[in-house]
């Protein structure tokens, strides 16, 4: 999803919008991509440590919260100002990825597939899944696949 240094820039951009915890940053990226991608904590937290070490972000005290929130520093703000176009393109790319994935989602198909699996489970639970029935079900599914291919 990200090239070299891109996650770092996206995190810096998101923290500059508002102080955030690591988990909130993961969710913000997931939201940007429409749920298509969420970075793992294993890449986010080391990147936050790097940004902290570089002086681009600093821990931000929040009343009563045990989690560490981060806020952008003047050094981080200066970097973002220099790389504003690059950051905007990254955010646009993430948003476009989510929109592209949204176009390919088909809730009616997901519902129909769920119904198919429920029907198969029901028949299997009834114990009425002898060799003949298995072949008939396979025949029906093969026929459906052929019809879909011809669409």
- Name the nearest CA neighbour of 35 among 125, 119, 97: 97
| pLDDT reported for residue 146 | 85
Domain span at 51: 6-104
Q: What percent of the chain has pLDDT over 90?
A: 45
Residue spans of alpha helices (H) in the chain: 6-17, 22-32, 41-54, 74-82, 84-104, 107-125, 131-150
Residues in Cβ contact with 125 at an 8 Å cutoff, skipping those fewer than 6 apart: none
Residue 32 has pLDDT above 80, yes or no: yes
Q: Can you tell me the mean pLDDT for 55-65?
A: 82
Q: What is the pTM of this model?
A: 0.65
Task: Identify whether residues 65 and 130 lie together within a single domain.
Answer: no
pLDDT band at 108 (very low <50, low <70, confident <90, very high): low
Q: Among the listed ranges 67-71, 84-88, 116-120, which one has the minimum average pLDDT value?
A: 116-120
Evaluate whether 14 touches 76 at the Cβ level (below 8 Å).
Answer: no
Rounded-to-integer distance, Cα 89 and Cα 84, Å: 9
Task: Identify whether residues 51 and 96 lie together within a single domain.
Answer: yes
3-state secondary structure of 55: coil
Rounded-to-integer distance, Cα 91 and Cα 31, Å: 11
Task: Identify whether residues 92 and 130 lie together within a single domain.
Answer: no
Residue 1 lies in a domain: no
Residue 130 lies in a domain: yes
Q: Can you tell me the mean pLDDT for 71-82?
A: 96
Q: What is the CATH number of the domain that holds 58?
A: 1.10.10.10
3-state secondary structure of 20: strand
Residue 20 lies in a domain: yes
| pLDDT reported for residue 89 | 93
| pLDDT reported for residue 53 | 97
Strand order in the sheet with 57-60: 20-21, 69-72, 57-60
Tokens at residue 102, please?
């949204």
Q: Which residue has the higher pLDDT, 61 or 58?
A: 58
Q: Write down which residue in 88, 104, 120 finishes a domain.
A: 104
Domain count within the chain: 2
């Amino acid at each position: 999803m990200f090239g070299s240094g891109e996650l770092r820039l996206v995190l810096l951009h998101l923290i500059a919008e508002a102080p955030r915890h690591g988990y909130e940053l993961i969710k913000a990226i997931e939201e940007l991509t429409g749920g298509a991608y969420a970075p793992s904590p294993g890449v986010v937290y080391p990147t936050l440590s790097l940004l902290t070490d570089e002086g681009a972000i600093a821990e931000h005290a929040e009343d009563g919260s045990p989690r560490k929130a981060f806020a952008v520093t003047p050094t981080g703000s200066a970097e973002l100002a220099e790389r504003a176009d690059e950051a905007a393109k990254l955010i646009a790319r993430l948003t476009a990825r989510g929109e592209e994935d949204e176009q390919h989602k088909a809730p009616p198909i997901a519902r129909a597939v769920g119904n198919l699996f429920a029907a198969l489970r029901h028949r299997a639970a009834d114990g009425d899944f002898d060799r003949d029935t298995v072949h008939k079900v396979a025949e029906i599914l093969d026929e459906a696949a052929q019809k879909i291919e011809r669409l």
